[in-house]
Amino acid sequence: MRGPWTHPFRGGFALQPGHQFLGVLRDHVGDAHVGRRVGRRELGDADFYRGLQYYLKTYAYTPVDSHDLEKAFADGTGHNVEAFFDQWIFKPGHPVLDTTWTYDDAGKAVVLKVKQTQDTSDGTPIYTLPLVVGLLRNASSNAVERQKVTLDQAEQEFRLPAATKPDCTPLLCSPARPVATAIV
């Protein structure tokens, strides 16, 4: 059974006056909302909306596809978005992460192990993901220390400096999921 996460983004619809572009993406493709969220975080709000505006003006009343969107974002923002579109729009699937952690008392570090476990037999890639790991330092004060890491391999280990063992399980936050996920 194929679900909405298994298909690459495909276009072929014409933009009409009054269309809510982001709604069109959401209606046509299951993965598009993830790609939209990640793209907005990677480019920043100003460039994301500049690229979107350029796209809407350039392709008004014409049939479009994903490649037109990629070209418009590149031309409208000056950013190379090829790798982003290749990973999030043109290829099927989504990242599936398996995470574990331990505390290295001698090395004063949280050792975070992350595996990408998605099935890649259908062309789903091993993703490059900027991630934020949150370490709770003092449960009574809710002090969270955030550390950025980049996941770009099927299996990866990160050593995060930590003078003491975190008070609870570290939290992982990706650009596609603004809500933190507990690492189990």
Q: What is the mean pLDDT of the chain?
A: 76
pLDDT at 153: 97
Q: Are residues 28 and 70 in the same domain?
A: yes
pLDDT for 39 = 77
Whether pTM exceeds 0.85: no
Question: Do residue 101 and residue 135 come from a single domain?
Answer: yes
User: Parallel, antiparallel, or unpaired for β 143-151 and 155-161?
Assistant: unpaired
Same domain, yes or no: 13 and 77: yes
Tens of pLDDT, residues 148-163: 899 999 999 999 998 8
* Structural domain that includes position 117: 97-182
Q: Are 168 and 106 within one domain?
A: yes
Burial of 2 (0-12, 13-18, 19+ CB in 10 A): exposed
Q: Which of 38, 60, 90 represents a domain boundary (last residue)?
A: 90
Higher pLDDT, 94 or 142: 94
Domain count, the chain: 2
* Domain shared by 65 and 104, yes or no: no
Listed residues 29, 55, 90: the one ending a domain: 90
